[in-house]
């Protein structure tokens, strides 16, 4: 027989799920990689961006002297802000975020091909999220990252997964001869739109954190992950 406390917990999780779906969107399905010769220049641009991210995460960890510091949300955001400042100076290919409470993904991409590339990266975060520690195995308990180095290593692994996909994909594009006009991108989100989306995700996460604190006040806070 359920108790009033367990009923309250179930009801709360239902409400949280509805809020998170409304704000962050549903998890990304695994579409076919809709890539052809028109995507060559964007693929090259994404490879450059991904290689920059792989290089910059350990570099910024060392510069901020935080590799062995305990992970927390503020430090993760500071690190991601440093990385974002580098990546956002590159040609826009897309960005994403994985919510580490319900393991959902939000992706904004320039083209369907770039969406698939970014999805490969985010799939690694989703798998880590779903296999992580915590209440209901979905982030309401302790964080899956013990140190900031753990957090950065997972990001680098995601980018390496994406890099492998892009490099193999580019090899299949070798028959593309002569000048290749880029595929017309989907509408580029403005900086303001991207910031608003991040803020909506952050506000939803804060509401979830507040509820989680009421049912388990001694837990370690988890956070919302980064932008890729």
Q: Give the model confidence (pLDDT) of 66-114 as tens digits.
A: 999 999 888 998 998 888 887 777 777 888 877 777 788 888 888 899 9
- Give domain status of residue 90, yes or no: yes
- Give domain status of residue 225, yes or no: no
- Give domain status of residue 119, yes or no: yes
pLDDT of 14 reads 44
Could you give the number of structural domains in the chain?
A: 1
- Give domain status of residue 221, yes or no: no
pLDDT of 193 reads 64
- Give domain status of residue 94, yes or no: yes
Q: Which domain does 46 fall in, by range?
A: 4-215
- In this structure, which long-range contacts are made by residues 200-209, counting pairs with CB atoms below 8 Å and at least 24 apart in sequence? 200/23, 200/24, 201/23, 201/24, 201/97, 201/99, 201/106, 203/23, 204/19, 204/20, 204/23, 204/24, 204/99, 205/99, 205/101, 207/16, 207/19, 208/16, 208/19, 208/20, 208/101
Residues of the chain with pLDDT under 70: 1-33, 133-141, 177-198, 201-202, 204-205, 208-209, 211-213, 215-228
- Give domain status of residue 37, yes or no: yes
pLDDT of 2 reads 45
SS3 93: coil
- Give domain status of residue 144, yes or no: yes
- Give domain status of residue 139, yes or no: yes
CB contact at 8 A, 94 and 109: yes
CB contact at 8 A, 16 and 208: yes
CA distance 79 to 83: 6
pLDDT of 28 reads 36
pTM above 0.85, yes or no: no
pLDDT of 226 reads 46
């Amino acid at each position: 027989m359920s108790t009033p406390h367990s009923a309250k917990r179930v009801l709360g999780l239902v409400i949280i799920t509805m809020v998170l779906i409304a704000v962050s969107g549903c998890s990304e399905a695994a579409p076919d990689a809709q890539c052809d010769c028109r995507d060559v220049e964007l693929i090259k641009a994404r490879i450059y961006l991904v290689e920059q991210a792989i290089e910059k995460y350990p570099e910024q960890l060392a510069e901020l002297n935080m590799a062995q510091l305990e992970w927390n949300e503020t430090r993760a955001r500071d690190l991601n802000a440093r990385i974002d400042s580098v990546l956002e100076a590159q040609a826009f290919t897309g960005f994403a975020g994985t919510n580490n409470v319900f393991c959902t993904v939000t992706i904004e991409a320039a083209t369907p091909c770039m969406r698939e590339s970014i999805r490969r990266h985010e799939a690694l975060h989703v798998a880590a999220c779903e296999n992580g520690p915590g209440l209901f195995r979905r982030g309401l308990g302790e964080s899956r990252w013990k140190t900031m180095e753990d957090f950065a290593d997972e990001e680098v692994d995601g980018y390496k997964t994406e890099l492998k996909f892009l490099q193999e994909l580019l090899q299949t594009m070798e028959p593309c001869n002569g000048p290749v006009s880029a595929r017309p991108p989907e509408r580029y989100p403005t900086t303001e739109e991207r910031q608003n989306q991040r803020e909506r995700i952050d506000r939803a996460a804060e509401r979830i954190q507040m509820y989680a604190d009421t049912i388990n006040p001694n837990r370690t806070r988890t956070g919302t992950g980064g932008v890729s």
